[in-house]
Amino acid sequence: MTTYIDVAAALSAKFSQAVLRASRDHPAFNVPAGQALAVLRWLRDEAGFEILRDVTAIDWGLERSPRFMVVWHLYSPAAHRYVRVAADCASDAEPQMPSATELWPGANWHERETYDMFGIVFSGHPELKRILMWEGYPYFPLRKEFPLAGLPAELPDPEVAAETKEKVQAAPMAGGPFVATPGETMSGAEPRARDEAWSESSQKPT
């Protein structure tokens, strides 16, 4: 089994297209999407990085292409070390990446969350569907163009939507800014927050 000390050199020798990146914490590699599963399998079987700790993604924004990158963090329980593997998605319009569920069943929920938040499709996933937002939700909340305060969207169940509209105001931006009714002091009033949700009307000049 390859030791942690020489894993960077061994991986580079095994996969010529793997690029070692500067990193302040763990060894980090960029690999082609087509080699991602082979690299992950080698790290699991030959280098002792048996545990998949995380699957996530990066949206670099519209000014960069490839725009989306998938990132895996693996852990070696024997060496108590991590390694980071990243791969660019070939398409910006319909980003895809092979699913790692054949290597780690636990990748299932990680990939569903990444799909839900970034819109990256993991080919070969056994049941790729949203895990946080509801099916039919029209946005991907961790994409760069999604505003920090969120976007209004219709709830899927008419009864829930009607009840919510009657009883619950639009969710404010977390953390404020808090406001008080004129004449009240902030120390004596229940904190309330302005509705910071994005809408077409909120963008019109006043």
Pairing mode of beta strands 81-88, 68-76: antiparallel
The residue that leads in pLDDT, 38 or 206, is 38
- Note the pLDDT tens digit of each residue in 125-142: 999 999 999 988 999 999
- Percent of the chain's residues with pLDDT above 90: 60
Structure tokens at 37: 């599963």
Say which residues have a Cβ less than 8 Å from residue 163's Cβ, sequence separation at least 6: none
The Cα–Cα gap between 90 and 206 comes to 42
User: Does the pLDDT at position 180 exceed 50?
Assistant: yes
- Note the pLDDT tens digit of each residue in 88-132: 999 999 999 999 999 999 999 999 999 999 999 999 999 999 999
CB neighbour class for 177 (10 Å; exposed up to 12, middle 13-18, buried from 19): exposed
User: Does the pLDDT at position 187 exceed 60?
Assistant: no
115 within 8 A of 135, measured Cβ to Cβ: no
Per-residue confidence (pLDDT) for residue 44, from 0 to 100: 97
Domains observed in the chain: 7-123 (3.30.460.80), 158-203 (no CATH)
